[in-house]
Structure 1
Amino acid sequence: MSHRFLDAFPREIRDQIYTYILTSSSSPSNAVTLSPWTFEVTRSLSLLRTCKQIQRECKEIIWRHNGLYLRCPTEIFTRFSSLMEVDGLRLRRIRHMEIVLELLDKDDLEWILSGLKALVQLTHVGSGSLESITLLAIHERPRGVNEFLEEMHLMCSGDWVDGRLFAAMPDNDIETTLVFKSSWPHFSNWGKQRWLREMLLNRSDTTALLKEIHTIFGGELLIDGSLLFKDGAQVAKTSKLNPRDGEIKIVPNRVPLTARSW
């Protein structure tokens, strides 16, 4: 049935149908806000289980109506570029960078990659000291005091970047480590937000995207501690990346600035 629907209607008409189904009757602006969270909202989201293409197209509608952007051009590139200009001296001392994302699926990885391109020069000998970049997705809710404080800091002090809350965590005792956290808008309480995250998860293979990240930074790329790429070659057959609770570690190839051909 989904194939007949996709063949029968062009994308513009499909988008109108998705918007009609996903818009709550209580929404004053006919926008897909998913708020207030009601049984009607939950039922409408079952549309995302139809097939991969409809799930992807519906996700784009939801993101567009909530100001989230998935692909270039993105504000995150501008944000990182501005950091390089405003706080370049401090950034050049950073050896380790950690970025927490809502998911490590294809959509969020494409988004953060667009920003990471602005930081490549920090891996060049003579321009920076960056030795590793770690991308994390944390599936569980905050459990410790520090985790709750970080969540509160993100909610109170974070800026909206491409529709996501984004903030550098308060300075810690390790001056050579910089931690960023990002979050989708909180459409509902934690339990329903977790369910929504599962519904919107892009299950497309990320190997090609991981290879692109590796091509940009060189060196090594590890998935949950296991080596996937090294010096341009794929070492493992599959990435086995858990997009809900995984870790990607980029260990750049630190070479002199003039040695980069791109």
Structure 2
Amino acid sequence: MSHRFLDAFPREIRDQIYTYILTSSSSPSNAVTLSPWTFEVTRSLSLLRTCKQIQRECKEIIWRHNGLYLRCPTEIFTRFSSLMEVDGLRLRRIRHMDIVLELLDKDDLEWILSGLKALVQLTHVGSGSLESITLLAIHERPRGVNEFLEEMHLMCSGDWVDGRLFAAMPDNDIETTLVFKSSWPHFSNWGKQRWLREMLLNRSDTTALLKEIHTIFGGELLIDGSLLFKDGEQVAKTSKLNPRDGEIKIVPSRVPLAARSW
């Protein structure tokens, strides 16, 4: 071709080409389902390895066909907002919140941040006692009996929130800690999940998004135990966030947002 693919075709035409390639012949209504998992599906996903822009555009097609959305307001924001209204007294006793995501890449961080905005008031003196929010991605799942039971609970009792399975984990008698888990739709069996997460990983830099999280909550933001932001200042040059098996810990400022000097 005399012109690059991305220059020769507008986005609307590119989307039609992606859909045609990613759609399995056994899928109904020309839907990109990735299921049943076949050699044809595996081969078509090699398109995501072409370049970063094509990978991002193909991933948007896959998300749209499988019901994963990031719109405003998101369902996760509505879910956390309703928690504040229905279970506000209990939430005001919560000191720590853990949320497990498929990946800590830009896409999933944007999604969960949209929901966390509803919880900011829990970090303010007089409104709540939330001392930390931890976001986790676990590369190997399930990792043991407890992990397996949590996965089964998510599959059996989880609700669909923005196209993802989302559920609070069973009470483990830790009254001050609230644990949530989320997962993408089960595109494939256990043996393909790790490979598929790698294919769908958004490799865009997340530093700006992490800064936005810190701006909202203040205090400190740590990556795998290392301090990245503190009181509005970036204290490390890079985030070094592992999106496959990492941890983001938010230690909010207890000063009301309106009173912050920065």
TM-score (norm 2): 0.97
Do 1:15 and 1:61's aligned partners in 2 also have CA atoms closer than 8 Å?
Answer: yes
Q: Secondary structure at the match of 1:165?
A: strand
**Alpha-carbon distance between aligned partners in 1 of 2:202 and 2:223, rounded to the nearest angstrom:** 18
Do 1:126 and 1:256's aligned partners in 2 also have CA atoms closer than 8 Å?
Answer: no
**Alpha-carbon distance between aligned partners in 1 of 2:20 and 2:162, rounded to the nearest angstrom:** 24
Using a 3 Å threshold, how does the CA distance of structure 1 residues 38 and 129 change in structure 2: closer, same or farther?
same
**Alpha-carbon distance between aligned partners in 2 of 1:111 and 1:220, rounded to the nearest angstrom:** 21
Q: Secondary structure at the match of 1:116?
A: helix
Listed as ranges, the gaps of 5+ residues in structure 2 are none
Listed one character per residue, the Cα deviations across residues 76-131 of structure 1 (whole Å, up to 9, x for unaligned) are 10110011111011001000000000000000000000000000000000000000
Using a 3 Å threshold, how does the CA distance of structure 1 residues 136 and 78 change in structure 2: closer, same or farther?
same
Listed one character per residue, the Cα deviations across residues 35-59 of structure 1 (whole Å, up to 9, x for unaligned) are 1000000000000001000000000
Q: Where does structure 1 differ by over 3 angstroms across 4 or more consecutive aligned residues?
A: 70-73
**Alpha-carbon distance between aligned partners in 1 of 2:185 and 2:92, rounded to the nearest angstrom:** 31
Of 240-249 and 26-35, the range deviating more from structure 2: 26-35
Q: Secondary structure at the match of 1:244?
A: coil
How far residue 12 of structure 1 moved from its aligned partner, in angstroms, is 0.6
Q: Secondary structure at the match of 1:3?
A: coil
Listed one character per residue, the Cα deviations across residues 48-71 of structure 1 (whole Å, up to 9, x for unaligned) are 001000000000000000000135
Do 1:77 and 1:115's aligned partners in 2 also have CA atoms closer than 8 Å?
Answer: yes
**Alpha-carbon distance between aligned partners in 1 of 2:143 and 2:213, rounded to the nearest angstrom:** 31
How far residue 171 of structure 1 moved from its aligned partner, in angstroms, is 1.0
Listed as ranges, the gaps of 5+ residues in structure 1 are none
How far residue 255 of structure 1 moved from its aligned partner, in angstroms, is 1.5
Using a 3 Å threshold, how does the CA distance of structure 1 residues 3 and 253 change in structure 2: closer, same or farther?
farther
Q: Secondary structure at the match of 1:212?
A: helix
Q: Secondary structure at the match of 2:136?
A: strand
Q: RMSD across aligned C-alpha pairs, in angstroms? A: 1.6
How far residue 188 of structure 1 moved from its aligned partner, in angstroms, is 1.0
Aligned to 2:204: 204
How far residue 143 of structure 1 moved from its aligned partner, in angstroms, is 2.7
Q: Secondary structure at the match of 1:147?
A: helix
Using a 3 Å threshold, how does the CA distance of structure 1 residues 53 and 2 change in structure 2: closer, same or farther?
farther
